[in-house]
Structure 1
């Protein structure tokens, strides 16, 4: 499991099965099967709480099921669904006093997997996670979380967000420049060819 990833509890199917007593569209079932875990990992990283993440993701898939024929007519089903996920997460974060938990969630996930020798490295990661949380572009933020914090490749990130892998790489380059400035490190242009 990746950083900030909750253990799947099986509750992800709850809203979909409760919402529809009939047969679910095959294409919806396939989409749910392909995206549920990734959406859950993203929501957990943002919210810092597995139960909140499961509720949000259930709500997103319930919404998608309700508007499924419309969603299929969108230019990009994946972009439409990703926007719905972001909107649901942002609404949950809009509760007074609530903030994005990504910095702590990612750091503590790293800490659980680390030995004492790596604690110094983790302290520097905390600064990196804080800088990621401050990225000015929401697309760069999502691409960095999905690529580097959650460990997805450019093709997977592009599919999830409904953008091309080239656009993913472009967002990574922009984010690396911004993070380099914020963290006071030199950005080496050739570094981003690994994703």
Structure 2
């Protein structure tokens, strides 16, 4: 027996509405993905050391995000959630290969030169290889490391760093100050509190 015409129209409307919602979800993911993919590739590349490896990591992270997109949209900060997923995929890739984060020497040196005070830069160029500079940065607490990566290696503004990490801009500045202090101590260099970022 055929269902009543009214019920059939109701089901058709529900199916159409569900399809429209799915289409909007797919479009919103695509827009988010296109806007952030370049930065994600830079973040992954800085950690895993090659464009090919970064492609694998970002593809995995994007697949996870797309599969849980409605959940991601329900989060307080979509960028923070995406950052967490990307970090997990970077960690997974490194763990599978028993590797540590690989930030390119040139990028790290430039980042530290920006991070540390102006008067240290020439000395830093000369001694960077001998003093375990990269080890010192890699040994920073996770949140300080994230801030340094986003702010100095990838050149993001403080407001964007704060949004990615789900913290206040003042906290970003605090992490930078603490990282500067730790690195100066680790590298046996003088440290003076400064407003420079």
* Pair in the same fold by TM > 0.5: yes
> In the alignment, is the contact (CA less than 8 A) between 1:28 and 1:68 conserved in 2?
yes
> In the alignment, is the contact (CA less than 8 A) between 1:79 and 1:163 conserved in 2?
no
C-alpha deviation, 1:82, in angstroms: 0.8
Who is 1:148 aligned against? 152
Who is 1:189 aligned against? 193
> In the alignment, is the contact (CA less than 8 A) between 1:45 and 1:101 conserved in 2?
yes
C-alpha deviation, 1:65, in angstroms: 0.8
Label 1:119 to 1:175 Cα distance change in 2 as closer, same or farther (>3 A): closer
Who is 2:181 aligned against? 177
CA distance in 1, matches of 2:192, 2:109: 25
CA distance in 2, matches of 1:30, 1:139: 28
> In the alignment, is the contact (CA less than 8 A) between 2:108 and 2:153 conserved in 1?
no
Give the CA RMSD over aligned residues: 2.7
Label 1:171 to 1:42 Cα distance change in 2 as closer, same or farther (>3 A): same
Who is 2:115 aligned against? none
Label 1:123 to 1:160 Cα distance change in 2 as closer, same or farther (>3 A): farther
| 1:69 is aligned to 2:70 | yes
CA-to-partner distance for each residue in 1:115-148, whole Å, 9 max, x for gaps?
xxx998545444433311111x111001111112
Gaps of 5+ in 1: 1-21, 112-117
CA distance in 2, matches of 1:173, 1:119: 21
CA distance in 2, matches of 1:27, 1:46: 27
CA distance in 2, matches of 1:107, 1:130: 14
1 or 2 for the larger relative contact order (CA 8 Å, sep ≥6)?
Answer: 1
Gaps of 5+ in 2: 1-22, 111-120
Who is 1:107 aligned against? 106
Aligned length: 164
> In the alignment, is the contact (CA less than 8 A) between 2:108 and 2:134 conserved in 1?
no
Label 1:27 to 1:45 Cα distance change in 2 as closer, same or farther (>3 A): same
> In the alignment, is the contact (CA less than 8 A) between 2:150 and 2:156 conserved in 1?
yes
Larger radius of gyration: 2
C-alpha deviation, 1:40, in angstroms: 0.8
> In the alignment, is the contact (CA less than 8 A) between 1:46 and 1:101 conserved in 2?
yes
> In the alignment, is the contact (CA less than 8 A) between 1:43 and 1:57 conserved in 2?
yes
- What is the DSSP-based 3-state SS (H/G/I as helix, E as strand, rest coil) of the residue aligned with 1:152? coil
TM-score (norm 2): 0.72
Who is 1:16 aligned against? none
CA distance in 1, matches of 2:109, 2:26: 39
